[in-house]
Amino acid sequence: MRRRYPLSKVWAWVFLSVAGLITVFPFLWMLSASVMQPHEIFRPGVNLVSEQPTLANYATALTKAPLLRFLGNGVIVTVAIAVLQLAVIVPAGYAFARLRFRGHRFLFLLVLAALAVPAYVRAIPNFLALSSWGLINTYPALVLPFIGSAFGVFLMRQFFRQLPGELIDAARLDGCNTGQLIWHVLLPLTRPALAAFAVFSVVSHWNDFFWPLVVIRTTRMYTPPAGIAFFASADGGENWGVIMAAGVIVITPLVLFFLLARRQFVASLAQSAVKG
Amino acid sequence: MVQGLTQQETIGASASRRTPRLRWLGPYLLLLPAFAFIAVFVFWPVIYSVYLSLQDWRLGFGSSRFVGVRNYVRLFSAPDFLNALRVTVGYTLVTSCGSIVLGLALALAIQHVRRLGSAWQALFFLPVASTMAAMAVVFRFMFDTHIGVINAVLTRIGLDRVDWLNGDLTAFAAVVVVGIWSSAGYAMVLFLAGLTTIPENLHEAAALDGASSWQQLRFITLPLLTPTTIFVVVILTLRSLESFDNVKVLTDGGPLGATQVLSHLLYIEGFRYFNTGYASALATVFFVMLLVVAIVQMRAERWVHYE
């Protein structure tokens, strides 16, 4: 039988290895520069490995910028967003998947329309609304605009539709009301789906750079991306070792989280891909 | 006695009337929280944004004044907007094409080697999940003229230093490279999901009929992958159109607007100069561009669904 792939496996390995090296290089470079002495960074030539590794950059980074505060802000904001999103998208997704009511089609079209509205178009009115409510530079300003996730409603509808209808009928016959049905029957069954959405939500909002720049005024309220970018530009490019150390501190929690929750994250992306 | 019975009947009647009424309301109550948030933070902003785009208003400078389509006229005669339009289209084309070709090649290679599939996936997906703003800071360091590793490699192999982030074309190239670095893994994951839907026995049959491996790729894999490809094209086009982080951190739109994409121009006009009306007009035009991409997608999907 003939081979299925044009090039031999060796070439595929070579390609993947080279591409993989380029992909991880910035991470390695950040890590290696974060333990370098200043004179090593400024020495001409390609210096990848420090001869006298030091953790001084990390100590300096932690004292010069409120990095732990950035991380804490990131946790507060992303957890609040994910929890509140689930609280509103689960009932809505269930209604669209399982209930019949007037205006079903129209309301679902509205959800699809909301899906098409990019963050930049909402930015100015959202900013004006939040500032008229006196919420600029607060956690609610970072959380409120993202609770009504059209993507989440859409995803939950897909998941609820896949559940067998007999199960719901049986629960109904046993006298469950809608609340009990969602809480005792559907939620346990959809836990993987909820986890997938939560991971997706946490990763995308943790990484969001644009919105914190818009609504946050003081350094102490920044989430990690805005915090590290502010720190890097305030420094003026003199202490790259310290900036890289700050980068490592800011990026490590999410990278670990991603590696642990990778399956859920990729699953939620693939799900959206297969379903269109 | 009779009275009691009537009362009981009334109670029963009101209870049984209450249940259907609740049942009728039920779906809407379930939808209400999500729709309340979507209405306030998504739909109202779109409408208000169009209204604002017809006003002359700088935030913090007195009241607004209705000016009709003047903001749009100004927009399409402003060199910086036309420049941003050009930069955005160029950036989007190069970045999405690069990411898609690379993502497809990675997906095919991973399927080919068959070993360590999920490890390769994790490796190439890492840039997608990692904080772009932080990694863009690392790239700024790598592109640095004097101490950056890229120039160090160039001088090592006997080439001249390049002043990456201060030249028009090189700054654009740097932003594109970072864009592709952060998106290729995204395309790869979607292509891998699509590849698993192609039945293995098609390849076996083709091989038995004497199809070469290039022919299998050309006449089986790529055609059957078309629905996935269209989806990937749209997702990556939208993703590239909305790029902001790499531009903000690497170049801040410079030098002299060479990397000024629409999202960044909107940020500058809306939140640095607070030209609220003008920036709202910009947002509206940007929205229309994104909608056109979405509509083209829907058309293309209907056209290609033959599997």
- Can you tell me the distance from the alpha carbon of B48 to that of B281, in angstroms, rounded to the nearest whole number? 11
Q: What residue type is assigned to position B298 of the chain?
A: M
Task: Give Cβ neighbours of residue B5 (< 8 Å, ≥ 6 apart).
Answer: none
> Using one digit for the tens of pLDDT, what is the confidence trace for B42-79?
999 999 999 988 888 887 777 777 888 888 988 898 89
Q: How far is A171 from chain B (nearest CA, A)?
A: 16
Any idea what the Cα angle at residue B289 is, between residues B254 and B224, rounded to 5°?
A: 105
Q: What is the DSSP string of A30-48?
A: HHHHHT--HHHHHSSS---
Q: Which residues is A55 bridged to in the sheet?
A: none
Q: How far is B138 from chain A (nearest CA, A)?
A: 6
Residue B14 predicted with pLDDT over 70: no
Residues 241 through 260 of chain B touching chain A, CB cutoff 8 Å:
242, 244-245, 248-249
DSSP 8-state secondary structure symbol assigned to residue A145:
G
Whether B131 sits inside 8 A of A207 (CB atoms) is yes
A125: nearest CB among B48, B113, B211 = B48
Q: Check if B80 contacts A (Cβ < 8 Å).
A: no
Whether A88 sits inside 8 A of B190 (CB atoms) is no
Task: Give Cβ neighbours of residue B147 (< 8 Å, ≥ 6 apart).
Answer: A41, A42, A240, B141
A&B contacts, CB < 8 Å:
288
Say if residues B34 and B252 touch (Cβ distance below 8 Å). Answer: no
pLDDT (tens place) for every residue of chain A, 276 residues total: 445 565 677 888 899 999 999 999 999 999 988 988 887 877 776 777 777 888 888 998 888 889 999 999 999 999 999 999 999 999 999 899 888 888 899 999 999 888 888 888 999 999 999 999 999 999 999 999 999 999 999 988 888 888 777 777 888 788 887 778 778 877 788 787 888 888 889 888 999 999 999 999 999 999 999 999 988 887 666 788 899 999 999 999 888 888 888 777 666 666 555 443
Say if residues B70 and B278 touch (Cβ distance below 8 Å). Answer: no
Q: How far is A13 from chain B (nearest CA, A)?
A: 7
Residue B17 predicted with pLDDT over 60: no
